[in-house]
Amino acid sequence: MSAFSPDWLALREPADADARAVDLVDRLKIHLNRPPLVVRDLGCGTGSLGRWLGGRLPGPQHWVLHDRDPRLLDLARATVTGPGVTAGTREGDLTALTAADLAGTSLVTASALLDLLTEEQVRGLAAACAGRPVLFTLSVVGRVAFAAAEPLDAVFRDAFNAHQRRDGLLGPDAVGVAREAFAGLGMAVATSPSPWRLGPERRELALEWLRGWVGAAVEQEPELAREAPDYLRRKADDPRVVVHHEDLLAVPG
């Protein structure tokens, strides 16, 4: 299942909602200007962040939903709704956004985005956002913890993390780079853990995540293909796992 397919995004949405750091949202609110708010959601997918965050922000809001996929934008625009909430879309490359593009924006937010960017792209995005509140949620940090732990977990983890860093992408280093970039622009930065906690009640998500995690590890280190089938079978017998992420809030200092 593609990481950007509507089916995958729908499957992960409840776990995302449970994981996001509400404490950062509470801290964010005091830094927002008076409603109506203009919120830009970068790489919005089907709009799950807007559906989760909209009801937690004060007053009327207009969401500007950015993504490269017009199918996802159509889904997001139709579902990021609520009392006093409107939405519009922008199709295109969000890494090319400038400070001028974000003029009049009350909040810039994104979910599961930072780890898909390069250092140059993260620093460019930070520069474009500087001076306004930013909330980035659910960035991977390269740690997983299986209830049924075994030595091979670290081998597959390291291979997966190397795959995440391919072609100059930041992968699990993204939050640290973003923290440094925003702090260097004079913004106050806070982070908070936002782990997925998967088990039998989310078995379908746990197994789909596991297949993707192992598949990426094998792509990075092909010799792991010999271990992968038995490893997957063992993990499927006990799908309990914590997949660690981190949320980041940056506000004008």
Report pLDDT digits (tens) over 158-168: 999 999 999 99
Residue 35 pLDDT level (bands cut at 50, 70, 90): confident
- pLDDT on residue 187: 97
Helix (H) or strand (E) segment spanning residue 248: strand 241-252
195/192 Cα distance (integer angstroms): 10
* Residue 36: cis peptide before it, omega within 30 degrees of 0: yes
CATH 3.30.70.2520 corresponds to the domain 6-141+169-197+245-252: no
pTM for the model: 0.95
> What digits encode the pLDDT tens for the residues 205-249?
999 999 999 999 999 999 999 999 999 999 999 999 999 999 999
Where are the strands (E) in 134-216, listed by range? 134-146, 187-193, 196-198
- pLDDT on residue 3: 66
Q: Which residues contact 118 (CB under 8 A, 6 or more apart)?
A: 168, 169, 170
Q: Where are the domains of the chain?
A: 6-141+169-197+245-252
133/108 Cα distance (integer angstroms): 6
Residue entry with tokens 């940056």 = 250
Helix (H) or strand (E) segment spanning residue 85: strand 85-91
Neighbours of 214 (CB within 10 A): 21
142/227 Cα distance (integer angstroms): 21
- pLDDT on residue 82: 86
92/98 Cα distance (integer angstroms): 13
Q: What's the token pair of residue 31?
A: 């830094």
Residue 18 pLDDT level (bands cut at 50, 70, 90): very high
> What digits encode the pLDDT tens for the residues 108-147?
999 999 999 999 999 999 999 999 999 999 999 999 999 9
Mean pLDDT of 76-105: 93
